[in-house]
């Protein structure tokens, strides 16, 4: 009997193996499998803070923000500032709080993260979004600029931050500045349809409809032909006095202009 139990125990994957397999699943985008593997790792070693952080991250990646909150907070608060991944745990806790619209709390979590490591572009960008949500535009602008400076040599990351910053500027009514950010990002990632679409919206806000049409056409050629974008292009063509083109896009969208 004892020998059978020993053989059974030896046949079970170790918590470390479960954690590593969970991490592989997480990196492959299989967050549900990662969650299951991390949960099993925690059963075998419930005091392991890194397993708890990874488990919370897998929940957050699936949009289960309420469930992710406690494990990520625990991983952040119960880790010494010098421990590996403590800063990541606090950052992920902050992002989870942000998704739950607890913006002030998210800023405090980001402050915990700064105790473990210097702020990254990702951190500055996350702080900027929380500050923007709180209406603290001047502070948000400063953090977006810090994020851009930190990510300057990493093209995809800096382009993504410029998209966020451009949208922030557009919400402030600073469309010329927003367009400049979008154009800089487009140079780095020219096939990103979101950048072309957001640039078009700012051009429309400035009354530059012909340039907006070019940007919208590029957006549709580089990505999924979203109904919203097709309808917007139809409206612009109609306003420019080109009913045939407007009709073609309306038919594609399967809709009528209001």
Architecture of domain 13-109: Alpha Horseshoe (1.25)
Matching CATH topology for 13-109 and 118-189? yes
Taking residues 81-108, what's their average pLDDT? 94
Domain boundaries, the chain: 13-109, 118-189, 209-258
Concatenated DSSP letters of the chain: -HHHHHHHHHHSPPHHHHHHHHHHHHHTT-HHHHHHHHHHHHHH-TT-HHHHHHHHHHHHHTT-HHHHHHHHHHHHHTS-TTSTTHHHHHHHHHHHHHHTT-HHHHHHHHHHHHTTSPPPHHHHHHHHHHHHHTT-HHHHHHHHHHHHHHTTT-HHHHHHHHHHHHHHHHHTT-HHHHHHHHHHHHHHSTT-HHHHHHHHHHHHHTT-HHHHHHHHHHHHHHS---HHHHHHHHHHHHHTT-HHHHHHHHHHHT----
CATH 1.25.40.10 fits 118-189, yes or no: yes
Q: pLDDT: is 119 or 106 the higher one? A: 106
pLDDT tens digits, 175-214: 999 999 999 999 999 999 999 999 999 999 999 999 999 9
| pLDDT in the model for residue 196 | 97
| pLDDT in the model for residue 257 | 45
Q: pLDDT: is 118 or 36 the higher one? A: 36
pLDDT more than 70, % of the chain: 94
- Judged against a pLDDT cut of 50, whether residue 7 lies above it is answered with no
| pLDDT in the model for residue 6 | 38
| pLDDT in the model for residue 80 | 79
| pLDDT in the model for residue 224 | 79
> If you average pLDDT over every residue of the chain, what do you get?
92
- Judged against a pLDDT cut of 80, whether residue 95 lies above it is answered with yes
- Judged against a pLDDT cut of 90, whether residue 81 lies above it is answered with no
């Amino acid at each position: 009997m004892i020998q059978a139990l020993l053989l059974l125990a030896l046949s079970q994957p170790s918590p470390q193996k479960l954690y590593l397999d969970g991490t592989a699943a997480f990196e492959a985008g299989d967050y549900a499998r990662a969650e299951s593997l991390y949960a099993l790792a925690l059963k075998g070693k419930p005091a392991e803070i890194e397993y708890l952080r990874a488990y919370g991250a897998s929940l957050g990646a699936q949009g289960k923000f309420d469930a992710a909150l406690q494990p990520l907070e625990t991983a952040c608060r119960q880790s010494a500032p010098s421990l590996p991944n403590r800063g990541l745990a606090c950052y992920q806790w902050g992002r989870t709080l942000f998704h739950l619209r607890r913006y002030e709390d998210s800023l405090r979590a980001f402050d915990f993260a700064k105790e473990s490591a210097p702020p990254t572009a990702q951190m500055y960008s996350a702080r900027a979004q929380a500050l923007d949500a709180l209406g603290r535009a001047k502070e948000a602008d400063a953090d977006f600029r810090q994020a851009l400076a930190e990510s300057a040599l990493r093209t995809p990351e800096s382009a993504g931050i410029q998209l966020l910053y451009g949208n922030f500027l557009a919400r402030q009514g600073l469309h010329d500045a927003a367009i400049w950010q979008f154009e800089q990002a487009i140079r780095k990632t020219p096939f990103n349809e979101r950048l072309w679409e957001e640039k078009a919206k700012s051009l429309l806000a400035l009354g530059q409809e012909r340039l907006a049409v070019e940007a919208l056409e590029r957006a549709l050629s580089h990505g999924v032909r979203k109904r919203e974008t097709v309808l917007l292009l139809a409206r612009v063509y109609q306003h420019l006095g080109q009913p045939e083109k407007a009709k073609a896009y309306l038919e594609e969208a399967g809709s009528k202009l209001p």
